[in-house]
Amino acid sequence: MTDIRAEMRFLPLSAQKVRLVIDLVRGKNANEALEMLRFVNKRAALPVSKLVASAVANAEENFGVSRDDLYVANIFANEAPTRKWRRFGARGRFKPILRRNSHITVVLRERGA
């Protein structure tokens, strides 16, 4: 039994916000996860659904596995490098701005094996 992996790197969303979406699909069938993500009203839902769809396509093309047998075995979001820059505030103060990014990894497995 092989793990089918797909990664998305440097997604311009914080890992904390992405985790709210990926917690919904962990352990679900791949088709069920894709269907669920279509109706989630979060900005992270579209990139996560594209990533799961990519992993399903990898499984079908590279490993010859049917999409009906796949399930989301593991999915996680880690922090990527944060872009930092500054805005100047009143009285000469300094207001840092942090643009957080994330890396998402999904692992699919075959249900029957």
Which residue, chain included where needed, has tokens 């990014």? 101
Query: Which domains are delineated in the chain?
Result: 4-110 (3.90.470.10)
What is the pLDDT, as a whole number, of residue 113?
55
> pLDDT tens-digit profile of 60-94?
999 999 999 999 999 999 999 999 998 998 998 99
Beta strand 70-79 with 94-99 is unpaired
Direct distance between the N- and C-terminal alpha carbons of the chain, in angstroms, rounded to an integer: 6
- Return the ∠ at Cα 60 (arms to 54 and 66), rounded to 5°: 120
What is the pLDDT, as a whole number, of residue 111?
85
